[in-house]
């Protein structure tokens, strides 16, 4: 009897002590870490499977996507205090390519901190382009290898979106080609987007978070601007439609979640 | 599948109603009582899931025993974040050594030591296995209302009420690598944390009928990997009837309902996406008693659920146990 009394008192006490002692995070964020950004391409809530799955958009056009490639760059991370870390421009452009599976960007040497928002550009800005072909580093070679450049004069393709479609008026599967870019320095279609992480990405010498973005390819034609392929199926240099596509493309990114941790496996 | 199991249960119930003597001719030896426990709703969080398992039936009867129980649970979880992401099949298996011992007149001590062996099968048919000790649980209960001793079949309704609590000890391994690449964070041997439980059980028996109600709440703490499973509420109601066959045999079929609710998990103090949720189950089972031995089988099938934002689904649970009264 006495024993059980003591036991229950001990249990009760330990419950109180332990439940009050947790919350201090022994996470002093120091040093530098790597921020991984996963661009998880999707369409209509499904994982994007090239040449396989088809979907029907709000304009009643049914698309099968065969290619989705885009250039992202000028990454900036803002921490909880509003301090902005800008990733070095020279190493700051990446080609996200669904065909090759290159869909993760790694930003190295990011200073320790609690980051709450992410800003990046879709395409290549004029500043970079005006550095000339010599100033492009690996980007130009990589873009040439992945069908992301027309010619040096015409410039980079910021977005390469291809496939086939049908519509109520076009019943045979017809190719569509959407190549959007800035066309030299005459038409600037470089756009930026800022995403609230909805959580915190914790960076330190042993914390390398993964920011998992969902990219909705459906937004390219069926976003803020509605672009009907039955009207024009090949859009490359269009003073009217290219800027609309650029706006739509900049709105195709959302943060699904942030995975904090060592980032060694994933 | 579900309907099959339910109809088998219903059939078992029906047959036992037809065949069972409603009363034993002689007073039963105490070893012949159903041991269906009150406390077996305390399945630990892992494998039993951050979608924590509970397999509980309670009769409110105060038996002391040593037992071995197997719990098998089937889940599936999305390998990805999309509507067409493939499913991972998960098999959680637990063998528990469990005991219930009196501590004086008014206290009961309950202890569970689990061994886990879990498997998950990815969409490419590759498998991952983890096995080892799970988290041990020690609980103490105070008996507010206690059944009159030796009145197995009472004329008046008998009430029991027990309140208590305890601790879950991180004897199982928590491996943060298992968090990667899958949305089900519960593919673990243990939570890695010291967790604390409070609970209450009420039971009423009248003649050979019984009903029991239970509820318990687990406060979970952050583990040394800065991961904290969400707090968990379990509740259940069970009804049963015992049929006696001579002096040595008894058969107790049972039906019940139970629910589980989970708060969101946290990592580094930040909420983890697609965690938390709830599930509501129908339960059925049967226990056979022979002298001081009890053999039981029970199953739980989900009636409704929304776990991990729909990214995890519980399919079924099965429990088989053997107890020896001591």
Q: What is the mean pLDDT of residues A156-161?
A: 97
In a domain? residue A221: yes
Interface contact A40-B81, CB threshold 8 A: yes
Residue B61 is encoded by which pair of tokens? 């009867």
In a domain? residue A24: no
Q: Collapsing DSSP states into helix, strand and coil, what is residue B47?
A: coil
Q: What is the mean pLDDT of residues B198-221?
A: 90
List chain A residues with CB under 8 Å of B83. 45-46
Length of chain A (residues) = 266
Q: What is the mean pLDDT of residues B256-270?
A: 92
Interface contact A47-B104, CB threshold 8 A: no
List chain B residues with CB under 8 Å of A19. 196, 219, 221
Q: What is the pLDDT of residue A266?
A: 45
Q: pLDDT band at A8, cuts 50/70/90?
A: low
Q: Rounded to the nearest 10 degrees, how much is the dihedral formed by the CA atoms of B105, B136, B319, B130?
A: -170
Interface contact A3-B270, CB threshold 8 A: no
Residue A130 phi/psi, 5° resolution?
-75, -5
Kindly report the pTM of this predicted structure: 0.81
Identify the burial level of B280 via C-beta atoms within 10 angstroms of its C-beta, where 0-12 means exposed, 13-18 middle and 19 or more buried: middle
Q: Where in chain A does DSSP place strands (E)?
A: 32-43, 46-47, 54-56, 62-79, 84-86, 93-97, 104-111, 113-122, 149-151, 155-166, 174-181, 191-203, 210-216, 234-235, 253-259
Q: What is the pLDDT of residue B98?
A: 86
The segment with the largest mean pLDDT, out of B34-48, B174-188, B302-316, is B302-316
Q: State the alpha helices, DSSP H only, in chain A.
A: 2-19, 126-129, 138-145, 241-250
In a domain? residue A223: yes
Q: Which residues of A171-195 are buried (b: 16+ CB within 10 A; e: fewer)?
A: eeeeebebbbbbbeeeebbbbebee
Mean pLDDT over each residue of chain B, to the nearest integer? 79
The C-alpha of B170 sits at a distance from chain A's nearest C-alpha, in angstroms, of 13
B26: which DSSP letter? Answer: S
B221 touches A at CB < 8 Å: yes
Task: Nearest chain B residue to A41 by CA: give it.
Answer: B82
- Expressed as residue numbers, the domain containing A53 is 30-259
Interface contact A4-B103, CB threshold 8 A: yes
In a domain? residue A265: no
In a domain? residue A47: yes
Contact B81, B58 (CB under 8 A): no
Q: Which CATH code is given to the segment(s) B2-280+301-325? A: 2.40.128
Number of neighbouring beta carbons within 10 Å of residue A251: 17
Interface contact B84-A53, CB threshold 8 A: yes
Predicted confidence (pLDDT) at residue B232 exceeds the cutoff of 70: yes
Q: In this structure, is the dihedral angle defined by the CA atoms of residues B76, B77, B83 and B86, taken in order, positive or negative?
A: negative
Q: What is the mean pLDDT of residues A93-113?
A: 97
Percent of chain A, pLDDT > 90?
A: 80
pLDDT digits (tens, 9 = 90+) for A60-76: 999 999 999 999 999 99
pLDDT digits (tens, 9 = 90+) for B39-77: 344 444 344 433 233 333 333 344 678 889 899 999 999
Q: Could you tell me how many CB contacts below 8 A there are between chain A and chain B? A: 99
Residues facing residue B110 across a β-bridge: B100, B139
Predicted confidence (pLDDT) at residue B19 exceeds the cutoff of 60: no
Name the residue among A5, A18, A265 with its Cβ closest to that of B221: A18
pLDDT digits (tens, 9 = 90+) for A120-135: 999 999 999 999 988 8
Judge if ipTM > 0.85.
Answer: no
Predicted confidence (pLDDT) at residue B25 exceeds the cutoff of 90: no
Q: What is the pLDDT of residue A177?
A: 98
In a domain? residue A163: yes
Q: What is the pLDDT of residue A11?
A: 53
List chain B residues with CB under 8 Å of A2. 104
Predicted confidence (pLDDT) at residue A253 exceeds the cutoff of 60: yes
Residue A107 is encoded by which pair of tokens? 């930003």
Name the residue among A27, A40, A266 with its Cβ closest to that of B268: A27
Name the residue among B82, B107, B142 with its Cβ closest to that of A45: B82
Integer angstrom CA distances of residue B278 from A184, B192, B303: 56, 22, 11
Domain count, chain A: 1
In a domain? residue A193: yes
In a domain? residue A264: no
Interface contact A7-B140, CB threshold 8 A: yes
List chain B residues with CB under 8 Å of A263. none
In angstroms, how far apart are the furthest CA atoms of chain B? 63
């Amino acid at each position: 009897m006495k024993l059980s009394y003591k036991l229950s008192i001990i249990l009760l006490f330990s419950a109180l002590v332990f439940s009050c002692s947790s919350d201090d995070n022994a996470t002093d964020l120091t040093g530098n870490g790597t921020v991984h950004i996963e661009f998880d391409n999707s369409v209509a809530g499904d994982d994007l499977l090239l040449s396989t799955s088809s979907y029907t958009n709000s304009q009643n056009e049914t698309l099968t996507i065969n290619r989705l490639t885009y250039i992202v760059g000028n990454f900036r991370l803002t921490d909880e205090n509003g301090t902005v870390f800008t990733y070095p421009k020279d190493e700051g452009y990446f080609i996200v390519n669904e065909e090759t599976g290159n869909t993760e960007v790694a930003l190295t040497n990011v200073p320790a901190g609690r980051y709450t928002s992410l800003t990046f550009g879709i395409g290549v800005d004029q500043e970079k382009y005006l550095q000339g072909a010599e100033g492009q580093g690996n980007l130009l070679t990589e873009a040439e290898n992945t069908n992301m450049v027309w010619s040096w004069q015409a410039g980079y393709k910021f977005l390469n979106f291809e496939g086939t479609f049908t519509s109520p008026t076009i019943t045979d599967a017809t190719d569509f080609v959407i190549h959007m870019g800035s066309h030299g320095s005459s038409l600037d279609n470089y756009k930026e987007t800022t995403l609230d992480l909805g959580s915190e990405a914790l960076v330190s010498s042993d914390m390398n978070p993964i920011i998992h973005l969902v990219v909705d390819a459906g937004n390219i034609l069926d976003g803020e601007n509605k672009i009907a392929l039955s009207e024009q199926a090949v859009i490359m240099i269009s003073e009217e439609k290219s800027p609309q596509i650029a706006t739509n493309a900049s709105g195709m990114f959302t943060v699904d979640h942030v995975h904090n941790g060592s980032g060694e496996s994933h | 599948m579900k309907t099959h199991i339910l109809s088998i249960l219903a059939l078992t119930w029906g047959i036992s109603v037809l065949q069972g003597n409603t009363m034993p001719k002689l007073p039963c030896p105490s070893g012949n009582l159903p041991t269906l426990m009150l406390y077996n709703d305390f399945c630990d969080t892992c494998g039993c899931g951050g979608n924590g398992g509970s397999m509980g039936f309670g009769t409110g009867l105060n038996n002391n025993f040593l037992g071995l129980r197997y719990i098998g649970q089937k889940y599936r979880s999305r390998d990805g974040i999309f509507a067409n992401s493939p499913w991972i099949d998960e098999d959680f298996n637990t063998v528990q050594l469990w005991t219930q011992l009196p501590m004086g007149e008014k206290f009961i001590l309950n202890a569970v030591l689990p061994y886990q062996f879990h498997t998950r099968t990815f969409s490419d048919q590759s498998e991952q296995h983890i096995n080892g000790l799970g988290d041990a649980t020690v609980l103490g209960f105070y008996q507010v209302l206690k059944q009159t001793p030796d009145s197995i079949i009472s004329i008046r309704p008998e009430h029991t009420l027990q309140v208590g609590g305890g601790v879950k000890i991180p004897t199982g391994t928590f491996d943060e690598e298992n968090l990667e690449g899958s949305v089900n964070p519960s593919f673990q041997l243990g939570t890695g944390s010291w967790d604390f439980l409070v609970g209450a059980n009420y039971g009423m028996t009248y003649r050979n009928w019984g009903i029991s109600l239970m509820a318990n709440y687990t406060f979970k703490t952050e583990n040394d990997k800065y991961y904290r499973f969400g707090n968990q509420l379990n509740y259940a109601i069970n009804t049963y009837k015992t049929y006696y066959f001579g002096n040595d045999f008894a058969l107790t079929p049972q039906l019940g309902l139970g629910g589980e609710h989970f708060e969101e998990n946290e990592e580094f103090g930040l909420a983890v996406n697609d965690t938390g949720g709830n599930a509501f189950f129908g339960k059925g089972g049967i226990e056979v008693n022979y002298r001081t031995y009890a053999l039981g089988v029970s199953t739980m099938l989900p009636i409704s659920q929304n776990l991990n934002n729909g990214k995890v689904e519980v399919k079924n649970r099965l429990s088989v146990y053997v107890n020896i009264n001591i």
